[in-house]
Chains A and B, each alone.
Chain A
Amino acid sequence: MTQTELVPATSATADAPPVPDGATIVLRGVSKWYGDKVALSDISFAIGPGVTALLGPNGAGKSTTLKLLTGQLRPSRGVVRVLSEPVVDNPALYRRIGLVPEQESLYPQMTARGFIEFAARLYRLPDPAAAAERALKLVALLDAADRNLGEFSKGMRQRVKVAQALVHEPEVLVLDEPLSGADPRQRVELMGVFDQMAATGATVLISSHVLSEVERMGSNVLVLVDGKLAAEGDFRQIRELMNDRPRRLRVLCERPRLVAAALVQLPGIVELRLQDGGLEVETNDARAFAVAVPRLARDAGARLTGVEGLDEGLESVFRYLVE
């Protein structure tokens, strides 16, 4: 990431910052629309080697952005450059780019090994069999390498998609929701692979709508909301903003009136509402609330059965950031 602080995104093309040295992916004033529908509106950013997460709720324009920078779509306006080259009508560039697409479909009649070897042959690698073996090993699929892709689970298909994207060891790796369908262990392993790629100097751009995934991947983020770049910068600052914002929580407990009377003394409490089986709270200091509530419930002689967030959805987080 070329900008380390969380900043509102630049919008107008003319206002786009100059492309920093070392930027491998550059979008300047890029818009994409389908008829009357605007999918992306005047987006500019530049990123360099390392892991960058593209965040946003469903429908925010993440997949459109990734498709634009891999040449699957042509921008309606603006410029897209990857590794200093134009993407559209430039198939030679694919020698240096790997993509894990959004769609799950694969060739069902091929084995995993056959599919990755096929990809290696299309990249003109000197030893496709060895390259496929290496890629399948990286995604821990060697045991299932000779099974037909039609028999694979969603998580296994995700790993095959990752293997085909990195079989040629690309300089830029673009991944659209790569952890979707993978179990927790597979997620950890795949994230290790992405980190490994980034450590060799590759640019890894990963889209996700799951905040906790992104948190573990790296600190650089781009945030898209409603087709606009809402923020870019360091993920930790987003986390801090999230912790600072008012939060709505549901407290499940016995004797809610007594608990409410105790809670109202806490700093940061904005609103308290009694409900069946507990109460709903809005607080400006969620951290202090989380620490205090078990103690206050115990002091009130009420059994606390749970505390749950009511606005943890990524969409609400992003909308808060935009506002």
Chain B
Amino acid sequence: MNQSIIKYILGKVLEIVGLLMVIPMITGIIYHEEEAFSFLFVGVLSFAIGCFTTRKKPSNTMFYLKEGCVVTSLSWILISVVGAIPFMLTGEIPNFIDAWFETASGFTTTGASILTDVEAISHTSLMWRSFTHWIGGMGVLVFLLAVIPMSGGSNINLMRAESPGPSVGKLVPKIKSSAAILYRIYLGMTVVQFVLLVIARMPAFDALCITFGSAGTGGFGVRNDSCGSYSALQQWITGVFCVLFGVNFNFYYFLIAREPKKSFRMEEVRVYFGIIGASVIIIFFNIMGMFNNALDALRAAFFQVGSIITTTGYSSVDFDLWPTLSKAILVMLMFIGACAGSTGGGFKVSRAIIASKTVFKEANSYIHPKSVKKIKMDGEVIEHDVLRSVNVYTITYLAIFIVSVLLVSIEGKDLVTSFTSVAATFNNIGPGLAKVGPAANYDCLSYFSKIVLTLDMIAGRLELFPLIILFHPAVLKEIFIRKKCSQRAS
């Protein structure tokens, strides 16, 4: 294990977090709020520590997948802890576990909150909460790759550990350019949504926070009823952009690269829109009776489906009151999640496609036991390794899920609450059902459950394995017992 490079990258991450705190600071200055000083203090401190650790480039800059996973997990734990400190200093969330839960929920783009009264929080802190969504959506390390001059191929291991999806490829030969293209698309779409919301007469502060929330598919709102009090047009814009941010970003890259054929050939994107369409239609007919006119019902159905499948977690109405069929569909969508290579979380549409194809293949082999059939996606054969990793991912996903539900149920809440609280945090959505539903929040849970759910959020965002690798005995041993040879190698 190359500790020096891990330390160096963590230092860089600290520097970046420090710099990012300029955004809430500016907000605080605009609104003349003294909370800005907390962010100033933490930002400067974090930046200074970062500079101190990175003052010397390590001589051995080689790192492998193992180091990539460790550094990614550690970075995410680090940023959620550092990002939580200002909340404690301002006194808005005095308890560390609560603040950590809230910040991790922000960076992992979950959007689950422990705050009972969001409107009582200062603009400064609200901006930071929403801004963590935007950073966490595309990933801190991808950001690092885009802005810091690095060369060599081994840093694909960083991108691999942080980017969602079963297989990670590059758009262009250089990883720095790939990361920069992703961030450019991301920034461009963010600006468009913000401008549209402002044109639709949303207050600029709300518009910015809501845009950050939907771009990162996070879901922190700035009002107690999430998006319920916004106008119909504003809700439509937010809903549509949630859906767009849940699309695999390769889709947009091909569009920009003038290869629309490749864009529309992407099976994952087509299935994704298919699922959205079907769910909207079913829920629409299911809830029509609850609304005065059909357009309102359609808007509510579309907004909720778009918000849940992309794992954003905004709500325009309290869907906890909807019929069971609609709620069941929403819970199902929570698990499917958005496309790979998007900012959304969940199991990912592409994995769902691959998994269901393997089931069909298996069924087929009962009928023709000697048949040879390769599973394809987008017209390309899927390598055995990818299939295997999807299968293993599924098992691990279920195992962690079950264990988490078990741990959360210790405190004795009802089953729906326990089940959906894990589903909503593990898949990075936000609101669940019953006591953690859209009209409620996570404050009612015990600290133990909050810690479990916080780790679930990070595990879900990093797609399980980087965090599991961190706790692998062999890796723990290497982290804590510094080997002499690691300094000699170059």
Is chain B a partner of chain A in the same complex?
A: no
| Interface set of A (CB-CB < 8 Å, partner B) | none
